[in-house]
Structure 1
Amino acid sequence: MRSKALILAPLLVAAGCAAVGPDYRQPPVALTPAFVGGTGGPVAALASREWWRDYRDPLLNELVGRGLAQALTVQSARAAIAGAEANLRATGVNEALSGSASASRDRSGGSQKATGYRSSSTLSADVVLDMFGGIRRDREAAQADLQAAHDDLQTARLAWLAELIAAYADARYYQQALTLAHRTMATRRQTLDITRTKFEAGAATELDVAQAQALLDTAAADVPNDLAQFNANVFAIATLLNEPAGPLLARMQQGGAPLRTPGTVPTGVPADLLRNRPDVRSAEASLHAATARVGVATADMLPSVTLGGSVANASGVKSWSFGPSVSLPLLNQGALAAARDAKIAAARQAEIAWRSAVTGAVGDVQLAQSNLTQFRARRVALDRAAASYGTALSLAQENYRNGATSLLDLLDTDRSKYSADVSAASAANTAAQEWATLQIATGAGAGSPD
């Protein structure tokens, strides 16, 4: 009777034991009630918001829809999810159970022994009793790793979107720069023709002709650079799409309007980032996993009980065995304690990484909001400057034709007009990209976990 009590004792202990190690709870983090320069109060989950459609560019919408399904970085993140799911399946019951089955049939004989057959079969199984919750903590860590993998997929989507929007916006900007360069070349050809006419009439010098020609050549020199930059961005888009560049280049060469900045972006409040930013959620899931692994390492320092049994049949002789076995880690306690301390340090590092992710996310939103506001204002000012220089250039051309102003004044106004046009286009492109940056900083458009 006493021996039976000893056998049942581990089972009773296992039934009443809680998992060792710390239970995970999100650490407190101090967040301001609002972003600097933010707009509005809390916002709902933004993962499903397809904000790129606000640009109202059909080709961009098509590229995003196609690319999110076939981009290599997104495919790699999906493969990581499959690996995390496999690791999770290896935990829990699958980690606690082990067993094997074997069978053999031998033929033997000799000069003094008749030929005969001998057969045997064995079936054995072992169950690790999770007395201190090490197996439960291991499964908890695997579940957190899987959640981190899903969040990493969303992070990969946002990173891919950021690269695609930047490349597409820059490609359209350089197309606009090409148009400006050709328009400026046409204006400077007119100036050169007027100067040659004046030279033939004795009202201009050969130096004037050379200066007008030099300004025309300067504009012509910008064309190859703008074209090279356009091609480079189209090639980058093709790489992001995991597609050949030829068909996309031909389609982009058909032209299209540069991206314009849509309306106001709802930034929400800093606390929203804990829910909406996938990189922040991934960092927290990694912290959860690291905390659970402290429990695994703690359980490794404690006794373990395995309940095993086997059934055997050898040439008709049957036998069986059943009972618990106890393993006590005695001589390696120092190594196990060091391993546990390493897990505690890793959990602390994971907490710091999470806090850094939160702080970085808040900074991302505030910086993008500030940049968007300032570049919008810069675009408006440069548009006004370009319009004013356009008026000034028209007047300078007329005055030069009538001999009321010098060629140097006309050329200087021409240079200023071209520079203002390019600067205005660049500011509009930057503002459009900062709008996307702010959307991504809030976690919008990450998509739902697979």
Structure 2
Amino acid sequence: MMITACAAVGPNPSDLPETRVQAAFDEGASGTVGVVGANAFWSGYQDRTLSRLIAGGLETSLDIIQANERIRAAAADLQGTQPLAAQITGDSASASRVRSGGEDQATGYTSNSSLSAGFVFDLFGGARRAREGASAAYASAEAEVQVTRLAWLAEVINAYSDARFNQQALALTRETIRAREGTLEVTRNMLSLGLATDYDIAQTEALLQTAQADLPSYEAQFNAQVYRLSTLLNLQAGPLMAQMQAGSGALRIPPGPGTGVPADLLRNRPDVRAAQQDLAQALAEVGVATADMLPSLSLSGTVSDSGGTQGWSFGPRLSLPVAGQGVLAATRTRRLSEARSADLAWRASVAAAVEDVQTSQSNLRRLRQRVTALDEAATSYDRAYDLARTNFEAGALPLVDLLDADRQRASARLQAASARNDAAAEWAALQIATGAGAAVARIAD
């Protein structure tokens, strides 16, 4: 009755302090989005190659596999804590059979055996707090796997998007090269007719050679992103390179996404949940340190049989940690400080999560506007170039004006492609900032 009446000392890890968050994001709506961890948001790109790579990589990524091992380690720690009012602190059994004899005595055998066990009663809930701490550590490890998964998704999508952009840049540059080769041919024909000069030829050749020099740079950047993907996906680079070179368009910019309200982040962001469980574990450690300062009650017993003589002992023992109170008090003070630090870390993670969403949301909105403006500019430069080319071939426009229109068109097209790539990647960043995709461990066929 005395044992069961005692409550666990120290703060209760399940009674976590509240943290306040703003009612809505600065540029967002006020409606909640619910639980989004299971959303395979990358399907919004409608890119089959990307979806296949992510589906396979979720099971082969070394980063994710390593994070899963941390869950197994935390599960073993949790299994090692016994949810009992009385814990076994030591049990052993031994047996021996010894032959002895001499000149003046007969040879014989002597048998010895013993069995002992000890129990310590969890008077002040120290063992209970230890189990609560191990449980919180396990939950934190599970959340950290999701943190790793989101970080991995961000890197995969960025590498894939950049690879596709460099492919698009290669295609645009090759189109520019063909157009400039045509301009050079026309200029040479005009030179033969006395309508152009060697200076005109040199200018046209220089512009063509500049475009040709850009090709190796885009190829190197494409290869680097594919090699990065091979590492992230734990795949051989050769087959992956062939698959990527087969071609696919640049990532589209899907609509949305909805961001919900800041309160959604408390359950959807795995880093916030991991920090919360770290706080629970730290509070449990305070309880363990407090219980260590208080008396402990243990019960031990031994049964032995030595050479035919049987015996037993049984009884309780009350231990008072008197001499080590200074060290134990210092340990408890340290655990209190660690708990306060864990509380601050949790609050900081919530603030950082809100910042991530608001920053990505703002970036995506402005990038969409930039894409629209640059697409319009690229269309206008395309039209200007076509007009300049027609007028040049008719002899109504100087070569220098055609070359200038060519440069502006090439630059505008690459800028528009780069802006679309940035917006597509930022769309994923906003999804990840809300915690979407964190709970997708594998994708069914």
Task: Bin the TM-score by the shorter chain.
Answer: over 0.9
The alpha carbon displacement at 1:40 in A equals 4.6
Matched, 1:311 2:300: no
Letter in 1 for 2:6: C
* Fraction of identical pairs, as percent: 51
What stretches of structure 1 of length at least 5 have no aligned partner? 1-11
CA RMSD of the aligned region, Å? 1.2
Q: Deviations over 1:277-311 (max 9, x none)?
A: 00100000000000000000011111111111111
Give secondary structure in 2 for the equivalent of 1:341.
helix
**Partner residue of 2:2 out of 6, 13, 17:** 13
Give the Cα–Cα distance (whole angstroms) in 2 for the partners of residues 421 and 341 of structure 1.
63
| Cα offset, 1:28, TM superposition | 2.0
**3-state DSSP of counterpart to 1:114:** strand
CA shift for structure 1 position 443: 0.3
Contact 1:40 1:267 in 2 (8 A): no
Once the two structures are TM-superposed, the CA of residue 446 in structure 1 deviates from its matched residue by: 0.8
Matched residue of 1:109: which SS? strand
Question: Residue 271 of structure 1 corresponds to which residue in structure 2?
Answer: 263
Structure 2 residue aligned with 1:60: 50
Structure 2 CA distance, aligned partners of 1:207 and 1:148?
Answer: 70
Deviation at 1:66, TM superposition (A): 0.3
Give 1:93 deviation, angstroms. Answer: 4.8
| One of 14, 34, 38 as aligned partner of 1:48 | 38
SS in 2 for 1:302: coil
Inter-CA distance 130–58: structure 2 relative to 1 (3 Å threshold): same
Matched-pair contact (CA < 8 Å) for 1:39–1:265: no
The separation in 2 between residues aligned to 1:70 and 1:194, in whole angstroms, is 55
2:115 corresponds, among 111, 123, 126, to 123
The CA deviation at 1:13 is 3.0
Residue pair 1:20, 1:134 contacting (<8 A) in 2 also? yes
Residue deviations 1:198-240 (CA, integer Å, cap 9, x gap)? 1111111111100000000000011000000000001111100
Q: How many Å separate the matches in 2 of 1:448 and 1:195? A: 59
Partners of 1:40 and 1:266 within 8 A in 2: no
Where does residue 33 of structure 1 map in the other structure?
A: 23
Task: Quote the residue 2:79 is aligned against.
Answer: 89
| Partner of residue 199, structure 2 | 207
SS of 1:405's equivalent?
coil
Distance in 2 between the 1:248 and 1:276 partners?
33
Question: Contact 2:357/2:430 (CA < 8 Å) preserved in 1?
Answer: yes
Separation of aligned partners in 1, 2:426 and 2:440: 24
1:223 is aligned to 215
Amino acid at match of 1:96: Q
- 1:158 is the counterpart of 2:150: yes
Taking structure 2 as the reference length, the TM-score comes to 0.97
Task: Provide the C-alpha distance between the structure 1 equivalents of 2:384 and 2:432, rounded to a whole number of angstroms.
Answer: 41
Unpaired segments of 5 or more residues in structure 2? none
Q: CA deviation at 1:26?
A: 2.5
Shift of 1:333: 0.8
CA distance in 2, matches of 1:91, 1:449: 28
> Retained in 1: the 8 A contact 2:9–2:124?
yes
Tell me the residue number matched to 1:8: none
The one-letter amino acid of 1:427's match is: A
Aligned runs of 1:63-212 on 2, under 5 Å? 63-93=53-83, 96-97=87-88, 98-212=90-204
Q: Using a 3 Å threshold, how does the CA distance of structure 1 residues 38 and 215 change in structure 2: closer, same or farther?
A: same
Contact 1:151/1:449 (<8 A) preserved: no
Aligned residues: 439
**2:378 partner letter:** A
Report the Cα offset of residue 408 of structure 1. 1.2
Residues 1:449 and 1:61: Cα distance change in structure 2 (over 3 Å): closer
CA–CA separation in structure 1 for the residues paired with 2:112 and 2:28: 77
Which residue of structure 2 aligns with residue 22 of structure 1? 11
Give yes or no for contact 2:276–2:346 (8 Å, CA) kept in 1: yes
Please list the CA deviations of residues 17-60 of structure 1 after superposition, one character each: whole Å capped at 9, or x if unmatched.
Answer: 10000113222222111011113501111111111111111111
> What residue number does 1:4 align with?
none
| Higher alpha-carbon deviation: 320-329 or 277-286 | 320-329
Structure 1 runs of 4+ aligned residues shifted over 4 Å read none
